[in-house]
Chain A
């Protein structure tokens, strides 16, 4: 969220300043105009009359308003979306570590299998894996959702960790080995903890991706936030679609903002430890790789 912002041409001449001011004025007018048009259009379609009332007026329908919020926040968010996240994230942490070990191992077959796993499951849609769980393995929707999330995110997180380990100074590994630690111990106790610290922004964007991917459960009949959203507007009738979609929007964004805030805080704490421990130069994340979900790796000055 807090990626560095670079505004092109910082030192414009007087003519350019005038031009910018004119552009700014014109665009403000155009955008405010468009917004007004949208609001007016929505108004003429009755958006502001009664649709929003389903959120606070118990008299609308036989279901009362308290039930709507209970359904959205408890049945949808807590017992659907977040439940899948809370189950999937620790499993991903574990399986991704195993995959990293396999990819770094001396055994060629293990390396090849890990390579295959990474490439196959990074290239297959999560939804397909979820359908596979439901249709081919006969798993419950929750387990299928978790399976889909775990399989895909294991491959991705392992790649992120691998990039993080590659970005560590070589001396870290050499020091560990020269102390007589086994390669596996060096990986688990020296390299991985430092890699996690460097890769924290990328790992957090991955959690946001995972959180959003739980919504695919909607398609395979897992009861989560969007399923509840759809049930709600089906129950209250067509005109409330906007209301409930907007509420779901706000809930998703709020949760993701919260995750980002927490991550930011954690990042600050961990980088403080790093400077006091004097591990050395802050390695720069390799180009590409982890940038897909935002320029997170270079948020620190």
Chain B
């Protein structure tokens, strides 16, 4: 681990980059995922079709392909080129790799959020929706004020699991020019071949520092929800 200690600044940079990607993409994916879940249970046919198609296509193709798609196909299809910027936010130089990672992970994780939220919506009895409807609430009001608050309760533990997977998925950005934890592991171990084990242990620990508390929280919450039922 000597090499990691010597390069503590690089390790810190990778750690903050992983956190930045995870948090920003996580928040965006949550919002987009809930919207998608709304699409999928809405009475508007085209929205349901769009939601189902989007979720099934994205969920069945790998995240790596999403990166390749954003990198190569968006400019060719719609002419959007992500500009190279060198702005620094929270100590992370936000280059193309980071922006790709945020967009790709948002689009990808949202499908899992959608499925989890939808399973929560399915667990709320239809009578609740009917009651909301018969009080004269619109679809949006029924969903936001009656269904989702009840759905979220049972859905928090699996949602945390989705976000644990999401944080680990941010590692794919290492293959696409983002200097996050795995990229740091790669770079340092190429420079210090004698200390590879230590470097990987350290980077692994850095991930566990984020993911283990979350999955323990998920387990605890699951017990609580199970008891309350």
Residues of A within 8 A of B (CB): 1, 3-12, 16, 19-20, 23-24, 27-28, 31, 38, 41-42, 45, 47, 119-120, 122-128, 131-132, 135-136, 208, 212-216, 218-219, 226, 229-230, 233, 238-239, 241-242, 245-246, 248-249, 252-253, 256-257, 286-289, 291-295, 298
Contacts and interface: CB of A to CB of B under 8 A. Distances in A.
A126 B168 contact: yes
Closest 8 CB pairs of A and B: A219-B175, A241-B72, A123-B211, A125-B171, A295-B119, A215-B62, A288-B157, A212-B62
Main secondary structure of the interface of B (DSSP, over half): helix
B77 A38 contact: yes
Contacts of A256: 60-61
A3 B44 CA distance: 19
A13 B217 CA distance: 43
Given A8-B121, A245-B65, 19 more contacts: A3-B122, A5-B40, A6-B121, A7-B41, A8-B142, A8-B143, A16-B133, A23-B43, A24-B45, A27-B47, A119-B208, A122-B164, A125-B169, A131-B200, A219-B175, A226-B62, A233-B72, A245-B69, A298-B122
Contacts, number: 227
B127 to A, nearest CB: 11
Nearest to A292: B161
B33 interface: no
Interface residues of B, number: 79
B65 A226 contact: yes
Nearest to B229: A287
A216 B176 CA distance: 12
A128 B182 contact: yes
Query: Which residue, of A8, A216, A233, has the highest number of chain B Cβ atoms within 10 A?
Result: A8
A229 B158 CA distance: 34
A157 B218 CA distance: 18
